[in-house]
Chains A and B, each alone.
Chain A
Amino acid sequence: MHGIKRSRLSAQAEEAKRIKEQAKIEAYVGLQDDVLARKRSKDYTTEALKKTTDLLDLNPEFYTIWNYRRHIFLRGLFPNTNLQGIVKLLSTDLRLTMAYLQVHPKVYWIWNHRKWCLENCPDGPEGTEGWKNEFWKMELLVVEKLLDSDARNFHAWAYRRYILASLPKSYTPQRSAQDELRYTRKKIESNFSNFSAWHCRTKILAGVWEGLSEAQVQSQKDQEFELVRQALWTDPEDQSGWLYHRWLIGSQPPEPTLRRELESIKELNEAEPDSKWCLNALAHYLLLFAGSPWTETEEADNARKEAKEILRRLAEIDSDRKERYQDLGKPPQVIRAVLMILSFSTIIKLC
């Protein structure tokens, strides 16, 4: 159970609750026994389907019943109807799972069943993809609605990814990466803290950039830096923007980019001297700067010194993670020795 406040009932109230629940329990167990008996006897009729709906209404997490329902379709109902009939049956299940998802947006089994419905949807009448197109159009709307009510629901993001990756060939209007960039930008601008949308953007852009020249990529990256800068200045303590910024910088940034971003973060640091995320980024980028092939020795030494000083400060203002900052300030051999001592103590303990 997540996020449900504990409350204490008196013994009396507890007993009253138990008695009140008794009828509910009996009805539930009766229905469950009936459905499982039908399942055992391979009852694949409309009547059985109706019973599974009743049971799933009460408990949409009962995965065995979802399995049974699919078997009823595949072994009983689909073989006895035409394609139009199959589409009708699947539409009913899409409506059903939509109702469930509004109450239980994080139940894997419901999302799974929805996907199964799509995978079993016939293309369309007379050689078209008409039915599929209709289904997918609806799914895009549905998933965007669910993301509107919880923009971090990773089930919904996964489903959206799936819908887009499996769009029917004849789907109109055609969807492009630009549509996705617009969508994630909209999500980000309505809440900079929506890391799910930032994450999604890293995936879309990585795909887009594969086909572009270095100069084109750089100019698009600069636009992204512009976007993320707004987020960093709005709330420098929000991790989302900083993570995205680190992705944009990558492991081998061009010299002008790294210099420019270092300057920009230093500016922010002056405005917000105690911002831990700002300092953390500075330390990391200074070390990256010091290790870049184009950095002069003296500049590199200064950057390293500066980074070390920042790490020392971080160990104070963000003391929960002080050991990490201390490790980052040490040459690699020392860390290995610390780990050896640690592992040695584990071995002693085990003996």
Chain B
Amino acid sequence: MASSSTIAPKLDIDLHVKYIQNLDKKKDYTYHLTEHLRLNGVYWGLTALWIMGRQDALDREEMIKYVLSCWDEVAGTFGAHPGHDGHILGTLSGIQILIMQDAIDRVDVDRITKFLLARVAPNGSVSGDEFGESDTRFSYIMASALSLLGRLDDLDALYDGKGRDLVVQNIVDSMNFDGAFGTEPGAESHGGQVWVAVGALALLDRLHMVDNELLGWWLSERQLPNGGLNGRPEKLEDVCYSWWDLASLSIIGKIRWINGDKLINFILDAQDLEDGGIADRKGDWVDVFHTVFGVAGLSLLGYPGLQDIDPLYCMPADIIEKRGLKKPYFARPRMEQYPESS
């Protein structure tokens, strides 16, 4: 209740842009330890910049060269960083960046498609790499990547034409009585897994398999009195769920079922107003992961001055629209100013 009556700071776009531009400059020990997230980090940074309308703040050609340098010739796809093994996690980030930079023609789409299709097991579960841990996160990545590459037809052709249905069934089997989803069949519902499951089902044109009323209830109960969202019952709030939970609500048309203004304030309060960036919650260290999901959440909530984001792809809405990939969802209309009236 306190957070809605006190005035939250405005989104400091200039500061966050500077924060993202400087990410590669501070090469401390942690920077080296997080190399396995580098390509994801570039995608997070670029997407955040795009939402803030500043996509040119990082050098395009340099970025494309970096993405291409992450190619793993043995696996036939992208790894997290040059010298790292190809993995489905780096694969999607690489594709997303190249699509945003309009440079997807510079990569071997056939080989990536082959890598992605090889991840689909006969039971419809999807693995991350040759060692085969499967998770509905990877089902989403496979669907999103193939969709962005315009190759979902290749999934349909898999397993005697049953490829899509197998993948869908595996996701639906990980749905629980609360209408939400876990990492695999049997696993507890989790906000992050809800987004990947709902996103994948929407991308594969099977959204009707979701119980919107039940899932909308579970998702709306993720909001805590301080406005933040958590990922599971009786857990702490965290800015990244402002994406996972909120984008899911947006896809199933229930974004009105939480208090949007309170969530806006919660995200704004998590900004570092000295050096830029957004943290998991107020007063914690910032990182680019929470920065992108914070601004992406703000965009879906209609925060003024931001570009629209597509909740299925977590990419700029106009890029998705231009590629003819737009599917229905419900975002809050963009406000002229925030708070709307004083």
Residues of A bordering B, CB below 8 Å:
1-6, 8, 18, 21, 24-25, 28-29, 32, 36, 58-59, 61-64, 67, 70, 108, 112, 115-116, 152, 154, 157-158, 161, 193, 195-196, 199-200, 202-203, 238-240, 243, 246-247, 319-321, 323-324, 327, 339, 342-343, 345-346, 349-350
Task: For chain B, residues 290 to 336, give those with C-beta under 8 angstroms from any C-beta of chain A.
Answer: 290, 308, 317, 321, 328-331, 333-334
- B326 CB to nearest chain A CB (Å): 8
- Whole-angstrom distance between the alpha carbons of A238 and B225 in the complex? 14
Does B333 contact A346, Cβ atoms closer than 8 Å? yes
| Cβ-Cβ contact count across A and B, 8 Å cutoff | 150
Does B186 contact A161, Cβ atoms closer than 8 Å? yes
The verdict on B18 contacting chain A, using a C-beta distance below 8 Å, is: no
Contact flag A321-B223 (CB < 8 Å), given A342-B330, A346-B333? yes
Does B234 contact A154, Cβ atoms closer than 8 Å? no
Contact flag A239-B284 (CB < 8 Å), given A67-B85, A349-B334, A350-B317? no
Residues of B bordering A, CB below 8 Å:
27-29, 32-36, 79-80, 83-85, 87, 129-131, 133, 176-178, 182-184, 186-190, 216-217, 220-221, 223, 225, 232-236, 238, 253-254, 256-259, 262, 272, 274, 279-281, 283-287, 290, 308, 317, 321, 328-331, 333-334
Does B257 contact A21, Cβ atoms closer than 8 Å? no
Does A320 contact B28, Cβ atoms closer than 8 Å? no
Chosen A-B contacts, 27 in total, with CB atoms closer than 8 Å, are A1-B280, A1-B287, A2-B280, A2-B284, A24-B29, A25-B28, A25-B29, A29-B32, A36-B83, A62-B35, A63-B80, A67-B85, A108-B133, A152-B235, A158-B187, A161-B187, A195-B233, A202-B176, A202-B177, A239-B234, A246-B178, A320-B225, A320-B258, A321-B221, A342-B330, A346-B333, A349-B308
Chain A residues near B286: list those with CB within 8 A. Answer: 1, 6
Does B36 contact A61, Cβ atoms closer than 8 Å? yes
The residue in A67, A327, A339 that gathers the most chain B C-beta atoms within 10 A of its C-beta is A67
Chain B residues near A115: list those with CB within 8 A. Answer: 133
Residue of B nearest to A350 (CB): B321
Does A5 contact B284, Cβ atoms closer than 8 Å? yes
Does A64 contact B85, Cβ atoms closer than 8 Å? yes
Chain B residues near A32: list those with CB within 8 A. Answer: 32
- A328 CB to nearest chain B CB (Å): 8
Residue of A nearest to B286 (CB): A6
Does B131 contact A67, Cβ atoms closer than 8 Å? yes
Chain B residues near A238: list those with CB within 8 A. Answer: 234
Chain A residues near B284: list those with CB within 8 A. Answer: 1-6
- Whole-angstrom distance between the alpha carbons of A319 and B257 in the complex? 10
> A2's contact among B33, B79, B238, B259, by CB below 8 Å, is which?
B238
Contact flag A247-B131 (CB < 8 Å), given A152-B232, A323-B257? no
Does A239 contact B189, Cβ atoms closer than 8 Å? no
Residue of A nearest to B27 (CB): A25
- Whole-angstrom distance between the alpha carbons of A5 and B283 in the complex? 6
Does B257 contact A195, Cβ atoms closer than 8 Å? no
Chain A residues near B188: list those with CB within 8 A. Answer: 154, 157, 195-196, 199-200
Does A239 contact B233, Cβ atoms closer than 8 Å? yes
Residue of B nearest to A37 (CB): B83
- Whole-angstrom distance between the alpha carbons of A94 and B336 in the complex? 57
Chain A residues near B280: list those with CB within 8 A. Answer: 1-3
Contact flag A239-B330 (CB < 8 Å), given A24-B29, A64-B36? no
Q: Do most interface residues of chain A lie in helix, strand or loop, or is the interface mixed?
A: helix
Contact flag A345-B333 (CB < 8 Å), given A321-B258, A324-B220? yes
Chain A residues near B232: list those with CB within 8 A. Answer: 152, 154, 195-196
The residue in B188, B216, B254, B272 that gathers the most chain A C-beta atoms within 10 A of its C-beta is B188
Chain B residues near A157: list those with CB within 8 A. Answer: 187-188
> B256's contact among A6, A62, A323, by CB below 8 Å, is which?
A323
- B299 CB to nearest chain A CB (Å): 12
> A158's contact among B29, B184, B283, by CB below 8 Å, is which?
B184
Chain B residues near A343: list those with CB within 8 A. Answer: 253, 328, 330
- Whole-angstrom distance between the alpha carbons of A64 and B321 in the complex? 36
Does B190 contact A154, Cβ atoms closer than 8 Å? yes
> A18's contact among B28, B238, B290, by CB below 8 Å, is which?
B28
- A339 CB to nearest chain B CB (Å): 6
Chain A residues near B177: list those with CB within 8 A. Answer: 202, 246-247
Does A59 contact B186, Cβ atoms closer than 8 Å? no
Residue of A nearest to B225 (CB): A320
- B190 CB to nearest chain A CB (Å): 6
- A98 CB to nearest chain B CB (Å): 19
> A70's contact among B131, B253, B290, by CB below 8 Å, is which?
B131
- B312 CB to nearest chain A CB (Å): 14
